[in-house]
A and B are shown apart, each in its own frame.
Chain A
Amino acid sequence: MTPVDASASPPIKRRVVFVVGSGRSGTSTMAGTLRTLGMHVPQPEVQADETNPKGFGEPQWVVDFHDELLQRCRVQVSDARPAAWFEAGRLANLEPLRGRLHDWLAGQFEAGGPELVIKDPRLSWFLGLWRSAALRCDATPTYVTMLRPVTEVVGSKQRYYAAKFGEVQRTAAWVNMMLHTERATRGSARAFVRYGDMLHDWTVPVFGLGQAFDLAAVQTAQANDIRAVHSFIDPNLRRVQLTWDDLEVPARLREIAEEAWQHLDRLADPDGDVPAVHDVLDQLRAAYGTLYDEAEAISASTALASHREGRLEGEKAGAASAVVVRRGAQRLPHGVRALVPARVRGWLRRVLRRPGRA
């Protein structure tokens, strides 16, 4: 290996804005705004649909990459388990993943210029990997967390997403996501933006981001860019406006969620991102962890029953597939079966009868 030539460093300062926070909080609005002003969203993007008619601002590659990782660590996008952060975080230590993400991000800087926007509701689980990729690309990582009242987020998800999860689980997952995303970005270049402020007058928070993160696309935006953002942002996007009266959530969880919202909301104030607020958020994280542990202990019988049920179903599935294989073998012409020596046929039958081997 020869010494690195320092003059090979990229001459233009690179920046990447990670748009984080819970889904249905205006993350698409923020990513779309920055894209409209000239920052690059890696292509192709996820197609718009009726749940997000203006588009998601999510690179398809990023969504696929995150889905793969979530599957690998057995974490869901909306996962209420505090321990899920440890499971997802472990992946950040795998060099092949770090290298893969770095290679992809380096390609995006080459193709799309020095200022990128990356947004995906799964992003918060893997911020360590992204930070590493950004640093290896000699890019400054910055974070925008979108804020929207928890009741509206839960209501919006109930309306637009599959009814797989109920209000309680969605509220718990919001607490888990938001409190840990705040912790993960603490100490980094970051900003908090209220969804309501974006819809009311987007120029104020976005100008602030341009200044705080030194974003050339925002600082040099022309009149046409500004007009384009005005036509992109629909103030009527905030279609779901609920309060706690509209949701049935246990008192302690509701208390923690409301307190968390109140203190996260303060982070969006000028000079609001201060240690005193962080301390309260740390206490809330601890309180949520305790509440979750208790809930887990109370529902341990349900978890065990599900585990048993899953095992039984697995065994049944294994037995059924063995039957299918036996039947399949029987479908072979007798002449072909006869070509297999009897000793081997017996061994094959024994092996194929074992559950799960087929």
Chain B
Amino acid sequence: MAVRGADIACEEGLAEYDVRWPWNHVAEWGRLRPGLTCVFRVKDEARNLPWVLPPMLAAADHVVLVDNLSTDGTAEVGARVAAECGAAERYTGLVYPHRVSRAGQEHLATEPHSVHSLTHFYNWSFSHVRTTYSMKWDGDMVLTPEGVGVLHDLAWQLENSGAVVAIPRHPLSIVSDSEAWLDLGFRFLEPWIYPMGADFTFVKAFEWEVREFPATSQRIVAPEGLVVELKWIEEDEFAHWTSVADFENSRVPRKRREWQVYRALMEGRGETVEGLVRIQAPPGVHIVDHVVHTWLPQAPRPLVRRVRMDP
């Protein structure tokens, strides 16, 4: 069995894509400095990054964005937005040029240390973090102003705590520039923020990767209303899955909920899904800005009223 936190050579023998953890190279790179780094692994997120990156750059000490075979100029947009935010020095853009297996059956069939494995992709991406805390983030997740505040505080309060932080997110299915559906019928809660260290690396799970952490780690659950996940209704949200059958039969209820909502909206019957809320932006305000800056801050709490999922 591999030593926990050891460097990981990739199956393909490509030295540039071996995982070299910072704690194994202190003499070369120095110790991790206090702070929080956000790691994005993205593919074709150019449309979302102008919403996603500015609040994250305001919240985290550093951002690492790893572009994986984008065809829409994602890497360029990321660098431009960081520069526009005056944060070019706190932004690292990287390229991962290998096709990564899709979640589900394809992932299961891939060796964990192959450059094509989600597990290796994650470990390689996080090996570029140089702060004591790191968080994974998706290229379609937008922080609200309250979310920026919470992460900004955690960036220094977590220091030496060893705690892991879970953050609820709210999927926002966008119909047009002025209309969207917010899913408040299911609690989408995952741990996103972890300390950096040998006990907190990624390992292979059935459908995707999971990040390890000691059972003794304290767990903090952030409040609701901090994050929305953008889902443009005309795009194929499920392209990164091997097959839709994987989705329908997923053991993970949140995946089944996402599929339920997607199907209902595509069939024009969003109002039949319990907990799905239609939101209309006022004239001249984009629906994403309206939800993030006005609707969510003012919405009564609790936001999420869980509905029963079919078994």
Contact: A4 with B223, CB < 8 Å? Answer: no
| Interface presence of B150 (CB below 8 A) | yes
A84-92, A209-217, A222-230: which lies at the B interface? A84-92
Collect the chain A residues with CB atoms within 8 Å of residue B156's CB.
85, 180, 183-184
* A6-B157 in contact (CB<8A): no
A138 to B145, CA, bound (A): 11
Provided the pairs A1-B277, A286-B34 are in contact, do residues A93 and B220 lie with their beta carbons within 8 angstroms? yes
Asked if B222 is at the interface (CB within 8 A of a chain A CB), the reply is: yes
Please judge, given known A-B contacts A3-B279, A93-B223, A135-B146, whether A99 and B153 are in contact too, CB under 8 Å: no
Q: Is there an interface contact between B297 and A138, defined as CB atoms closer than 8 Å?
A: yes
Cβ contact within 8 Å between A83 and B153:
no
With a CB–CB cut-off of 8 A, which chain B residues contact A289? 159-160
Q: Which of B138-188 contact A (CB under 8 A)?
A: 145-146, 149-150, 152-154, 156-161, 163, 184
Known: A86-B159, A93-B223, A135-B146; 8 extra A-B contacts, CB below 8 A, are A4-B298, A6-B282, A90-B220, A98-B223, A128-B149, A136-B297, A184-B153, A289-B159
Please state if B153 and A9 are interface contacts (CB–CB under 8 Å). Answer: no
Interface readout for A140-158 with B: 1 if CB under 8 Å, 0 if not? 0000000000000000000
Q: B223 to chain A: closest CB distance in Å?
A: 5
Per-residue interface assignment for chain A, residues 76 to 111, with 1 indicating a CB less than 8 Å from any chain B CB and 0 otherwise: 000000110110011011110011000000000000
Asked whether A89 lies within 8 Å of B285 as measured between CB atoms, the reply is no
Q: Is A11 an interface position by the 8 A CB rule?
A: no
Q: How far is the CB of A200 from chain B (nearest CB, A)?
A: 33
Closest to B184 in A: A1
A133 to B295, CA, bound (A): 15
**Complex interface: chain A residues within 8 A of B285 (CB):** 6
* Residues of B that sit less than 8 Å from A by CB: 34, 58, 145-146, 149-150, 152-154, 156-161, 163, 184, 220-224, 277-282, 285, 290, 294-295, 297-299, 301-302
Q: Does A282 contact B (CB under 8 A)?
A: yes
Select the residue from A3, A9, A184 with max chain B CB neighbours within 10 A: A3
Instruction: Identify the closest chain B residue to A89 (Cβ).
Output: B157
Q: Which residues of B contact A7 (CB under 8 A)?
A: 282
B161-A83 in contact (CB<8A): yes
Q: Are B301 and A99 in contact (CB under 8 A)?
A: yes
A-B contact count (CB 8 A): 83
A3 touches B278 (CB 8 A): yes
Contact pattern, A 1-34, Cβ under 8 Å of B = 1, otherwise 0 = 1011011110000000000000000000000000
Q: Are A93 and B282 in contact (CB under 8 A)?
A: no
- With beta carbons under 8 angstroms apart, the residue of B223, B281, B298 that contacts A95 is B223
Give the complex CA separation of A180 and B220 in angstroms. Answer: 21
Q: Does A256 belong to the interface (CB within 8 Å)?
A: no
Write the A168-208 contact mask toward B (1 if CB under 8 angstroms, else 0): 00000000000010011001000000000000000000000
| B residues near A89, Cβ cutoff 8 Å | 153-154, 157
Contacts of B58 in A (CB 8 A): 187
C-alpha gap A162/B72 in the complex (Å): 65
Cβ–Cβ contact A93 & B298, under 8 A: no
Main secondary structure of the interface of B (DSSP, over half): mixed
Query: Which B residues touch A9, using CB under 8 A?
Result: 294, 298
In the complex, what residues of B have CB within 8 A of residue A98's CB? 223, 301
A3 and B180 alpha carbons, distance in the complex (Å): 10
**Interface residues in chain A, defined as those with a beta carbon under 8 Å from any beta carbon in chain B:** 1, 3-4, 6-9, 82-83, 85-86, 89-90, 92-95, 98-99, 127-128, 131-132, 135-136, 138, 180, 183-184, 187, 282, 285-286, 289
Please determine whether A135 and B153 come into contact, CB atoms closer than 8 angstroms: no
Q: Is there an interface contact between B161 and A135, defined as CB atoms closer than 8 Å?
A: no
In the bound complex, what is the Cα–Cα distance between A89 and B281 (angstroms)? 34
Closest CB of chain B to A98's CB: distance in Å? 6
Query: Are B277's CB and A136's CB within 8 A?
Result: no
Output the nearest chain B residue to A95 by Cβ-Cβ distance: B223
Closest CB in chain B relative to A155 CB, distance in Å: 29
A180 vs B156: C-alpha distance when bound (angstroms): 9
- Chain B residue numbers with a CB within 8 Å of A138 are 297-298
Closest to B162 in A: A86
Which residue of chain A has the shortest Cβ distance to B290 in the bound complex?
A: A6
Q: Which 7 A-B pairs have the closest CB atoms?
A: A89-B157, A6-B282, A128-B153, A131-B149, A3-B280, A95-B223, A86-B161
Given A138-B297, A184-B153, A184-B156, A93-B146 contact (CB < 8 Å): no
- Cβ contacts under 8 Å, B154 to chain A: 89
Least Cβ–Cβ distance between A11 and chain B, in angstroms? 14
How far is it, in angstroms, between the C-alpha of A286 and the C-alpha of B294 when the chains are bound? 38
Output the least CB separation between A353 and chain B (Å): 36
A10 CB → nearest B CB, Å: 10
Please give the distance in Å from B126's CB to the nearest CB on chain A.
23
B218 to chain A minimum Cβ distance, whole angstroms, is 9
In the assembled complex, the Cα of A95 lies from the Cα of B168 at a distance in Å of 12
CA–CA, A184 and B154, complex, Å? 10
Q: Report the Cα distance A1→B301, complex, angstroms.
A: 12
Query: Out of A86, A184, A285, which one reaches B158, CB within 8 Å?
Result: A86
Is the pair A132, B161 in contact by a Cβ cutoff of 8 Å?
no
> Would you call A4 and B295 a contact (CB within 8 A)?
yes
